[in-house]
Amino acid sequence: AQKVTQAQTEISVVEKEDVTLDCVYETRDTTYYLFWYKQPPSGELVFLIRRNSFDEQNEISGRYSWNFQKSTSSFNFTITASQVVDSAVYFCALSRANDYKLSFGAGTTVTVRA
């Protein structure tokens, strides 16, 4: 069985602070895919990044960066110099090879205060 755990329920920061969201996953598969989605107050989920289990290269994209570590089964996400527009619920998700179902974590609500 697959499981995704986002231990942080809510994070509140002041604008320009950095925010790191934790994601820990469980799977017995050797091939799997990890995703981060953002859900702003409007409700739709917006895809942010995908990683496959063979690609542990970490990435920086603008103010966003991701840290994927297979050894600890973690796929953490950092927002640098947060802005009010970053306020949203962030979901980590996992899918396995040959299976189109996504297993979602419970989400982390990020509130950025001006």
Partner 1 sequence: DGGITQSPKYLFRKEGQNVTLSCEQNLNHDAMYWYRQDPGQGLRLIYYSQIVNDFQKGDIAEGYSVSREKKESFPLTVTSAQKNPTAFYLCASSIFGAEDQPQHFGDGTRLSIL
What contacts 12, CB < 8 A, 6 or more positions away?
110, 111, 112, 113
Give me the least distance between CB of 16 and partner 1, in Å please: 28
Distance (Å, whole) CA 66 – CA 114 = 25
Task: Note whether 45 binds partner 1 by CB under 8 A.
Answer: yes
Q: 3-state DSSP helix/strand/coil percent for the chain, to nearest 5?
A: 5, 55, 40
Task: Note whether 56 binds partner 1 by CB under 8 A.
Answer: no
Report the half-sphere exposure of 72 (CA within 13 A, side-chain side). 9
Give me the least distance between CB of 80 and partner 1, in Å please: 23
Give me the least distance between CB of 2 and partner 1, in Å please: 11
Task: Note whether 64 binds partner 1 by CB under 8 A.
Answer: no
Contact criterion met (CB below 8 Å) for 67 and 74: yes
Task: Note whether 81 binds partner 1 by CB under 8 A.
Answer: no
Give me the least distance between CB of 36 and partner 1, in Å please: 10
Judged by the rule CB under 8 A, the positions of this chain that interact with partner 1 are 4, 9, 33, 35, 37, 42-47, 50, 52, 91, 95-102, 104-107
